[in-house]
Amino acid sequence: MKPALKRIAWGYVFMLLDFRINSFDLLPDWLGLLFIAYGCAKAAEVSGVKEFWTAQKAAALYFLYTIIAFFIQMNYSASPIIQAGERPEYNVTMLLVLIGQLIHLLLVYGLCSSIHAYAIKQEQPGLQNSASARWKVYLAFTTLYLVYLAFLPNIEANYTMAIVLIALAGFILEFFILLLIVTAVKLPYHKIPPYTDEPSS
Amino acid sequence: MSKRPLIIAFFIIITAYLGNGIYDSKMKLKEGFFLDHNYEMTVEGGFFFELYFVDNYSTENPVVRIELPELEYMNSFTHAQHHGQYGKQSMYSFTFDSSRYGSEFWESLIGKEINEVTVYYAGGKSSILPIGSIRFLEHDSLYHEAILNENSPFQFNYSSSSNGAGVQAVDAQEALTLSAGKPGQAIPSIPSFCYKLRVDHATPNSKRPREYMNTACNEPSFPFHLEQGDRLVLEYSFSNQAEEDEVILYNFQLHLEGTRENGDPLRYPFAHIRSVIPSAESIKSLIKQKRSEAS
């Protein structure tokens, strides 16, 4: 189980961090998403926690999105990132950002619910509560952020500082999700047989 | 973990985007428009003018350039400059500068009128739009020749202006005496035009007064004596007669007369060209009007 969870953690690190040399991304998101998808599939097989399959599908969908967004970026002057200081508009960039954020939210839900179910199975109430609490905070923050982003093109204000602060807060929250996965990696794994209705003899 | 909060969050987010997206589309113009330009100009020694275009703000498909099909020589000098932001609309300015053309080109413009331009966008789209009217008038040949004279007594130094006022400075290339300054051709005619002429001496130890102040609104006090390197500064103000949605190009001339260093008579048109654009409030109300006309 540990190798599968480690892959998920490494995948999340790839997705979270952005090291570039001459615009070449040393830790590409698509590679991180492949790690997560593969790790989730293995974790689902080994642990029998079906929520890992949800996370695996979300990672696969996110992978597909990064590829499509890359091609859109190459062929149009659109980008899946809103630059600080640039006035947001309702255009392809905004649509890409929205779709990307919704899929990302789905992925975080998949990972948190997987770790939550895994913690129940492993009888780890601390991890279970932590997964539940971090998901709630993450969901509330992302919802507020995306609603704020929806209003941005229609309000005339200096929002550069707000965008920078939101990006910083978002990064800290992502880091806490990563810590949750790392905590799950560190737990001693106890193989629990699948539950059946047949009476034991 | 329950999926319900996630579904509710998705619903809230998508509703926020749809609502704001609908509002955004209602606030946009169906098509950009030029301010109503009312330009009449002579082409003595060259000219320059600016056109102003209002369109939806866009980083993906901005306006890149315009062409004046009727002035084939000038097609490549019309790159867009971002001039101002008015809510969801931007105003671009396009400067046409004739300084790189020969006198044959200027002569060929006399009597011509331009009423439309072709606008090109970054995405490759283009459209032909009306601009109002630009008319090139007959010029005063005497002063035209004075300006084209390579052995000019003055060299341009700087100019700046705002709505209704401005300043322009030239440097004397030789010692000379100015004996008269008469307001020349002003297009359009302006009911109120006041000017001051000032000489800033290049020689700091000069015992002469540092400035001569003359105001056409009062009594002018010629003559002026200039040494080589002295700076002649024209400060002026005028009454703006443009309508709220109109851009007028004001052409002023102050005809200087006097004597050059070698004793030859001096004739020099101290000219200034400046367009006065509507206020930000006028442009915003114009955008509102265009939006309501289109819906």
- Contact in structure between B169 and B157 (CB atoms under 8 Å): yes
The partner residues of B223 in beta bridges, in order of sequence, read: none
Cβ contact (<8 Å) for B9 and A112? no
Chosen from A87, A95, A143, A158 to mutate, greatest number of chain B CBs within 10 A: A143
**How many Cα atoms are found within 13 Å in the side-chain-facing hemisphere of A108?**
30
Which tens digits make up the pLDDT trace of B177-225? 888 887 776 676 666 777 777 777 766 555 554 454 444 455 556 788 8
Integer Cα distance of A17 and A12 in angstroms:
9
How close, in Å, is residue B20 to chain A by CA atoms?
6
Q: What percent of chain B lies above the pLDDT cut of 90?
A: 12
Of B1, B16, B59, which has the smallest distance from its Cβ to A116's Cβ? B1
Which tens digits make up the pLDDT trace of B118-172? 888 887 888 899 999 888 887 766 666 666 666 788 888 887 777 677 888 888 8
> Which residues from A are below 8 Å from B86, CB to CB?
none
- Does the CB of A75 have a partner CB in chain B at under 8 Å? no
Residue A201 pLDDT more than 50? no
- Does the CB of B12 have a partner CB in chain A at under 8 Å? yes
Which tens digits make up the pLDDT trace of B71-110? 766 554 567 777 778 888 889 888 877 766 666 777 777 8
- Does the CB of A102 have a partner CB in chain B at under 8 Å? yes
| Residue among A161, A147, A28 nearest A98 (CA) | A147
- The CA distances from residue B155 to A71, A86, A161, B149, B159, in Å, are 55, 42, 48, 12, 12
Entry pTM: 0.70
Which tens digits make up the pLDDT trace of A108-147? 999 999 999 999 988 889 999 999 999 999 999 999 999 9
Give ipTM to 2 decimals.
Answer: 0.85
**Which letter does DSSP use for residue A160 in this model?**
H
By C-alpha distance, the chain A residue nearest B13 is A147
- Does the CB of A116 have a partner CB in chain B at under 8 Å? yes
> What are the backbone angles phi and psi of residue A51, rounded to the nearest 5°?
-60, -25
Q: Please give the biggest Cα pair distance in chain A.
A: 73
Which tens digits make up the pLDDT trace of A71-85? 887 776 555 555 555
**Four-residue CA torsion sign, B162, B164, B167, B168:** positive
pLDDT of amino acid A136: 95
- Does the CB of A63 have a partner CB in chain B at under 8 Å? no
How close, in Å, is residue B71 to chain A by CA atoms?
32
Cβ contact (<8 Å) for B9 and A131? no
Residue A10 pLDDT more than 80? yes
Cβ contact (<8 Å) for A139 and B9? yes
* Cβ within 8 Å of residue B2, ≥6 positions away: none
* Cβ within 8 Å of residue B66, ≥6 positions away: B51, B53, B78, B80, B94, B117, B118, B119, B120
